[in-house]
A and B are shown apart, each in its own frame.
Chain A
């Protein structure tokens, strides 16, 4: 994976929410990482309200960063629609995948997902019958095809019954720790890949500096 001595990973957060003002949790997560050194936040719905995605700009952003985080709510067991448009347009053959493509190789791929149902609903015997990890397997396959390093999602679950203020705040802090850990190379990628959710136990996978 990555050399721990490497000074810093540049992190690109693709913020994907159609009505940001109506999502407290996504705003909190975003605010927790906003302004961090080496972290770029790219708001897809705000930048492309008419879905006219600037492919060149997006590809350049990807090239300039070492980890790409898609932060989005789970809509119909998938992503908001603009993210599909983004994947369709930006991940061009010859750039993202194909025998000649190497521009995304080795970069980290990660989803930060907020979902209504809690962890118990995302089980074989639960309400949704599939685990979150199973549901997002198309993205895992996508990352693999692009030779990227896939990581389990940073998940904030059970939000539809409304999370208490402190818990939301805690998720924000976790998000910030995770992003910094990825940035500084203190987060153990190998260990993280074994988890269901990357934020299951951040203490266990982040090395103290």
Chain B
């Protein structure tokens, strides 16, 4: 236990030190983790053991990441992307496999060459997606192309696992057992195996589609937050186990689950609950990659490994440029696309291991290749940096950003916090004006009903920072606060002012004192919830009493204007009185008195003069 905690401490501390430094230097978090790994690894300070074990465990971070990616991809969007996924992805994997196999054929027998070719055609989902997200490029056109290829690669791992054993040429030890701990699917006859596989995939769909929502609703209703976290983790882990049992990629399974749940109101909540786990696991995974760089081997065979790394990146880059060209990408987009995917991937470690145990590749072939893949992964973030600096140019990122605006129509610019009595009508109004807000509400039942009517509403406690982040507070332009609880509203406003100072804020106040509380925080756009209705009702009442409709309307407008003008004065008096420590009840009476007095002083001349007999043209 102590040992475990010590190891954990070393990993976490290394990350906590290296990542902020790397980010400060503009290197991105991935490079920070990798460097931390080298430093604490066997060739640095030698602080950690069992690197392979750690790497194997933390690979689960990739699974979680694909779940999160799935959550952001609605089925309709995925369907729209089918051409780039199959077309670009297929072309990239096929061309890379052929080219790398052909190159390997110069040194290796054909079976081994083919194995090396297909394994090295894969890129690093973990590094590339993490970097794209950090740079905010996920929703740009090159970002989508890159993601499509990565998705295809993840799918391609499955047939690769099936094909690799057929390429075996080496007599092997019988430890090729890779079935599950529950039951060994390979013991079943072929048709049953297919049936079980199909059953597993369809159960994910059915689970996500029908069981997911009621389950999360029940859990959400308990309002015990960690239970929601537990359920979310159980979902991801459970699906991984199921997929492993039927011999499919766990990453693929959780990705599917994510896509199925992308339409659900619990999307943001799931996202913010899984995110930290994914982040930590991936971080440690990157550290272990850094730590696994075998510098003894690299030192001994420096020329071979350097050559392999350069050849790997060069060949893949060439294929990607050709692919980008065939799919008519713009020049800048193509260069990012090619740079982004030119490295080897973490699946290569898994597949090389698999090839060795299945007698496809000998250890002496694999060792330098693994080093080359690790080096290429290490170079990947550096290549991104180089691309930013030299190719994209100073305005490059901006260009990509602008492009994104036209591509993604779904980008929300408004976050609507609270969808109760007031929020509902406000939301309807905004939608009618062509603005689709991200709506957040903490009443699960409420959320459920509203979604049935086609509102985009998400469940969650809006005063949680991670939920704000998941709702896109970074890119949003405006936050509208309509939550009734005034202390909660203040809490939210303070949180947003601290972390998202760019966000404009418009707020609803239940009453005058709630408005004062918001004014304390410097909010200027405040509407009192009942004020508008009171005046509208007043206007209608005047009409019923025979006042001209237009005059009733004007009276209302004038009154409102005067009231708004009085507000700062009342606020000042209110705060002055406060210093005198009077009771809440007294305070209310004093406020009311001041209000009435100001009303009496109000200049009513404006009303009297309009349209009167004094007007000579009447």
Contact = CB atoms under 8 A, between A and B. Distances in A.
Interface of A: 18-23, 45-47, 49-50, 73-76, 114-117, 159-160
A201 B287 CA distance: 103
Contacts of A45: 548-550
A73 B548 contact: no
A73 to B, nearest CB: 6
Pick the 10 closest A-B CB pairs, nearest first: A49-B553, A19-B611, A45-B550, A116-B616, A46-B549, A160-B616, A49-B550, A116-B617, A49-B549, A18-B550
A127 to B, nearest CB: 11
A134 B594 CA distance: 55
Contact of B553 (A21, A50, A160): A50
A115 B616 CA distance: 8
Given A159-B618, A160-B618, A22 B613 contact: yes
A55 to B, nearest CB: 19
A104 B42 CA distance: 92
B190 interface: no
Nearest to A160: B616
A92 to B, nearest CB: 23
Contacts of B551: 18-19, 21
A23 B551 CA distance: 13
B550 A160 contact: no
B100 to A, nearest CB: 67
B134 to A, nearest CB: 49
Given A18-B611, A19-B610, A116 B618 contact: yes
Contacts of A116: 615-618
Interface centre among B546, B615, B616, B618 (most CB of A within 10 A): B618
Given A19-B610, A19-B611, A73 B618 contact: yes
Contacts of A18: 548, 550-551, 610-611
B612 interface: yes
B552 interface: yes
Nearest to B550: A45
Interface of B: 546-554, 610-613, 615-618
A20 B549 CA distance: 9
17 contacts: A18-B551, A18-B610, A19-B551, A19-B610, A21-B546, A21-B547, A22-B611, A22-B612, A22-B613, A45-B549, A45-B550, A47-B549, A50-B553, A73-B617, A73-B618, A115-B617, A116-B616
A177 to B, nearest CB: 25
B618 A20 contact: no
A74 B549 CA distance: 20
Contacts of B618: 22-23, 73, 114, 116, 159-160
Nearest to A19: B611
Interface centre among A19, A46, A50 (most CB of B within 10 A): A19
Contacts of A160: 616-618
A67 B548 CA distance: 26
A50 B556 CA distance: 11
A49 B552 contact: yes
Nearest to B546: A21
Given A20-B548, A49-B552, A114-B618, 20 more contacts: A18-B550, A18-B551, A19-B550, A19-B551, A19-B612, A21-B546, A22-B611, A22-B612, A22-B613, A23-B618, A45-B549, A46-B548, A46-B549, A50-B553, A73-B618, A116-B616, A117-B616, A159-B618, A160-B616, A160-B617
Interface centre among A18, A20, A47 (most CB of B within 10 A): A18
A50 B560 CA distance: 15
A42 B618 CA distance: 20
Contacts of A117: 616
A112 B396 CA distance: 67
Contacts of A76: 617
Contacts of A159: 618
A20 B613 CA distance: 12
A75 B617 contact: yes
A74 B617 CA distance: 6
A76 to B, nearest CB: 8
A21 B611 CA distance: 10
Contacts of A50: 553
B545 to A, nearest CB: 11
Nearest to A23: B618
Nearest to A50: B553
A72 to B, nearest CB: 10
A46 B554 CA distance: 12
A22 B617 CA distance: 12
Given A18-B611, A19-B610, A22-B611, A46 B616 contact: no
Contacts of A23: 618
A189 B86 CA distance: 78
Contacts of A114: 618
Contacts of B553: 49-50
A89 B557 CA distance: 23
A46 B549 CA distance: 5
B543 to A, nearest CB: 9
A80 B611 CA distance: 10
Nearest to A77: B617
A49 B549 CA distance: 6
Contacts of B547: 21
